[in-house]
Structure 1
Amino acid sequence: MGRGTGRTGTALVTTVAATALAAGLATGCGPRAATAGGAPTASPSTAAPSATAAPSGSSSAAPSPSVSASASRPPSATPRRTTAAPRTSAPRIARPVLPEVTVSVATAGGVLRPVRGGAAREFTVTLRNDTARDFPRFATGLTMEPYWVDEAPRDPALVLQRRDPATGAWRDHPLHVATDAGVLYVTTGGTPLPRGGVRTERYRLRALATGPAGRTTIGVYGVVTGLPQDASFESRGSGHATLPLAVTRAG
């Protein structure tokens, strides 16, 4: 073939290629267009919308169900446990240790006033052991001097009784009438009185219809009982008090 034929073939190929390119662009099936820098770019007609895009007008994704449930949960109704403040109490003041048992006597008006032939008058004796020892047996001894009439001693004609704490019954109790301290030897019985122990005993005194009248005192002694016969005088007693006594006649 000659030159004319070559130019005609070349023009024909060029025309066919151009036609095919135009048809491809029109149907979207042709090659991607090139950018100015030569890198391929996606054709605007081939971009598909994302299936996960947020709907129009929403600026954020839908809240998670777990977050929503936590936010709407009401506050717990269970009260919080609180630690109570430690209680403070006033410091206990230790009582001083004393060498003897404290013996105290009490009666209405401070003076025992029985009337001859009248009712018995009550009084109480309290024993408080603030010593450093325990007493296995401890009793109360009561004594008084005899009345003196015309320079002669007279029987006071008094009846002393002690109330039994177990039964509530009144029982006769010895009243030592003498001018000595023999009450520490003749008093018997007694119950334990430990260190720190306190005991209150009830007594009553009745004046018989006949007998002397006047004022005197009753000695109240704490007596350590159950000691051997040769125990010293000092070891037998622990504490004492006095009770004023005024016996009168009726009328």
Structure 2
Amino acid sequence: MRPSRALTAAAAAVAVLLPGVTGCAPEGGAEARTPSAPATASPQATASPTASSASSASSAPAAPAASTPAPHTPAARPSAGTPAPSKSPSRPPVPTYLSMSLSAPGGQLSLKPGGPGQEFTVTLRNGNTRSYRSLLLAFQLEIMPGGTGGWVLERWDRAAGSWRHADLRIANDVMPPSMYAGGSSLARDAVSVRRYRLRAETGAAPGPNPLMVSLIDTAHDTRHSYAYVPQTTLAP
């Protein structure tokens, strides 16, 4: 009978110890599956990083303030109903050309043989198309029958302040432009006014005899213009 009692006493001891064994179950037991609460940091530990960050932020240099760009104002555009102004294209100047004109007091010359001469002017007006380097004025009177004298032409020399002899051809034919030489230049848009005077010598034939004037371009052997001044030699 003693062995049975021993076994019963052993079983009772085991039953008493089972609750304590269950509380100390290994990691694979039911209690191992329950996660433990995370450790709570102490207030001092939490405040320390914050204070350090604040200190670093206060010691760092302040970033420059970003400049605000000026607001962009769009250019004013004409409304749809208002047409945009158009630029008129520049036009080339109207071409002008060389011209010659004669002028005398009263529009004509009335000469008395052996008397004083009478003045007239020749005006050259150049245009804007070209310049000239050799322009010559050629004067001519026709031969009048019954005369024993002729006519004298003079040109006013502004530089010398006196009258000088000028060429005057007495003939009934026309001299070709290629037979003339010399002349003076005339720039574009230039104006040249030249003074002349004509007088009749004693014995000059009376009657109307226009003074013919030709403008010769001797550089190109061409007669550019032609005009005349009405002239009448009075009877002695």
Aligned with residue 199 of structure 2, among 183, 200, 206: 206
Equivalent residues of 1:140, 1:187 under 8 A apart:
no
Report the counterpart of residue 189 of structure 1 in structure 2.
Answer: 182
Closer, same or farther: CA 218–204 of 1 in aligned 2, 3 Å: same
Partner Cα distance (2:152, 2:176) in 1: 17
Corresponding position: 1:126 with 2:112: no
Closer, same or farther: CA 185–214 of 1 in aligned 2, 3 Å: farther
How big is the shift at 1:189?
A: 3.0
Number of residue pairs the alignment of both structures matches: 145
TM-score by length of 1: 0.53
- Which SS does the other structure have where 1:239 is aligned? strand
AA paired with 2:129? A
Closer, same or farther: CA 209–106 of 1 in aligned 2, 3 Å: same
Once the two structures are superposed, what CA deviation does each residue of 1:151-201 show, in whole Å capped at 9, x if it has no partner?
xxx566101011112112211111112223216345433211112111010
Aligned with residue 164 of structure 1, among 153, 157, 163: 157
Equivalent residues of 1:142, 1:183 under 8 A apart:
no
- For 1:1-251, list aligned pairs within 5 A: 96-98=95-97, 101-130=98-127, 132-149=129-146, 157-182=150-175, 184-225=177-218, 227=219, 235-250=221-236
How big is the shift at 1:139?
A: 1.7
Partner Cα distance (2:109, 2:187) in 1: 30
Partner Cα distance (1:164, 1:157) in 2: 23
Question: What is the aligned-residue RMSD (CA, Å)?
Answer: 2.3
Closer, same or farther: CA 118–139 of 1 in aligned 2, 3 Å: same
AA paired with 1:144? L
AA paired with 2:104? T
Equivalent residues of 2:136, 2:215 under 8 A apart:
yes
Closer, same or farther: CA 96–132 of 1 in aligned 2, 3 Å: closer
Report the counterpart of residue 70 of structure 2 in structure 1.
Answer: none
How big is the shift at 1:218?
A: 1.2
Partner Cα distance (1:116, 1:180) in 2: 24
AA paired with 1:97? T
- Which SS does the other structure have where 2:225 is aligned? strand
- Which SS does the other structure have where 2:110 is aligned? coil
Partner Cα distance (1:183, 1:144) in 2: 16
AA paired with 2:190? G
- Which SS does the other structure have where 1:97 is aligned? coil
TM-score by length of 2: 0.56
Structure whose alpha-carbon radius of gyration is higher: 2
Indicate the percent of aligned positions where both proteins have the same amino acid: 31
